Amino acid sequence: MRSIKYLILIFVICLYGCSEQNTNPPSQDSVENQLIQVSKEDFSTEDIPKYDYYAKQGWTLTFQDEFDDLEVSSKKWNKLNSGYKDHGRKHHYLPEQVSSSSGTLKLQVGNKPFQSYPYRSGAVTTQGLHEQLYGKFEIRAKLPVGQGLLPAIWLLPTNHAAFPEIDIVEMLGQLPNEIWHVGHSGPGKREYQVTNINGSQWHLYTLDWTKEEIIFSIDEIERFRIKNFAHTSMYLLMNVTVGGVWVGDPDKETKFPSYMEVDYVRIYSKNN
C-alpha cells in the first residue's frame, strides 16, 4: 500500500514538472518560424481573382482617363490654342491653362489678358485621337461658378460639320443650379432640358447614345432623352468659355482664377 502511494507521488511530481516546462516561453527562432509560416500560407494573394473596376456588363471600355498622372496625356487629349470672339466671347484658349494634379484634370480660367483677349481659358478635345459612333460617355466633373463663365462637356462630328451637336452638360456660371442638356440638329433647331442640380458640386454626367435615341443622366438618374438623334462619328470636347451673348460678361463678383475639374472620363461601346 505504501509503495503504491510512493508511485502516485512520483507520478504527480513528474506531471507537475512537465507542466512547468510547458509554461516556458518559446524561443525566438520558433516564433519567427511560426510567423513566416503564417504569412506564407494565410496571406497569399495568388488565388485572389483580379477585379476590373471599370468593366460594365454588356459594354467594352474604349477610352479612359483617370487623370492620375501629373501630365495631361497628349495621346488622349488635344490642348486648344486659339482665340474666340464670335457671339461676343472674350477668351483665348491656351495650353498652359490645362493641367493635371491631385487626381483631376483642371481647366483654368484667368483674367490676365492675352493679345487682344481680356481672358484666357483651357479646353481639351479628343479630335483625331478618339472618335466614336454611339456608346456610353461618363464624365465626373465639378463646374466653375460666376457671371460670364460657361463650362461645357459636348460632342461634335468628326467630319468638321457644325451639326449635329450634343451638349452633355452646359451651365451658366451665374446660375449654378441649372444644368442644360441640349441636342442641336441644325441652325436654330434644338431640343433641351434644364435639370435643377448644383453644378458646382461633383456629379457624374452620362450620355447613353444609340441609333434609336440619346439619354442624358446625372448621378445615374435619367434627366432627358431625344429620339432618333445624331448618326455620325463624334469626338469629345471639354471647355470653359468666357463672355458672350448668352452668358454675358464677367462682373466684379466673378472669381479668378476659376476651375473646371474633371475626375475621370470613361467611354464605352455596346457589345454586339
The CATH number of the domain holding residue 121 is 2.60.120.200
Number of domains, the chain: 2
The pLDDT value recorded for residue 36 is: 46
One domain for residues 95 and 35: no
The pLDDT value recorded for residue 10 is: 52
Question: What is the pLDDT confidence band of residue 87, given thresholds at 50, 70 and 90?
Answer: confident
Alpha-carbon gap, residue 181 to 202, rounded angstroms: 17
Amino acid at 214: I
Alpha-carbon gap, residue 177 to 198, rounded angstroms: 4
Q: What is the pLDDT of residues 205-261, one digit of tens each?
A: 999 999 999 999 999 999 999 999 999 999 999 999 999 999 999 999 999 999 999
Mean pLDDT, residues 75-87 taken together? 94
One domain for residues 185 and 74: yes
pLDDT over 90 at 4, yes or no: no
Q: Is residue 54 part of a domain?
A: no
Among 32-36, 165-169, 177-181, 263-267, which is the least confidently predicted range?
32-36
Torsion of CA 208, 122, 187, 87, to 10 degrees: 150
One domain for residues 34 and 137: no
Alpha-carbon gap, residue 9 to 19, rounded angstroms: 16
One domain for residues 69 and 189: yes
Mean pLDDT, residues 110-129 taken together? 98
Q: What is the pLDDT of residues 10-54, one digit of tens each?
A: 554 455 454 444 455 555 555 445 444 544 444 444 454 444 667
The pLDDT value recorded for residue 235 is: 99
One domain for residues 144 and 33: no
The pLDDT value recorded for residue 53 is: 61
Q: Is residue 23 part of a domain?
A: yes
Q: Is residue 89 part of a domain?
A: yes
Report for 4-8, 38-42, 45-49, 125-129: range of highest mean pLDDT: 125-129
One domain for residues 28 and 111: no
One domain for residues 206 and 92: yes
One domain for residues 25 and 134: no
pLDDT over 50 at 2, yes or no: no
* Domain hosting residue 168, numbered range: 60-270
One domain for residues 100 and 12: no
Q: What is the pLDDT of residues 189-202, one digit of tens each?
A: 999 999 999 999 99
Residue with cell 468628326: 158
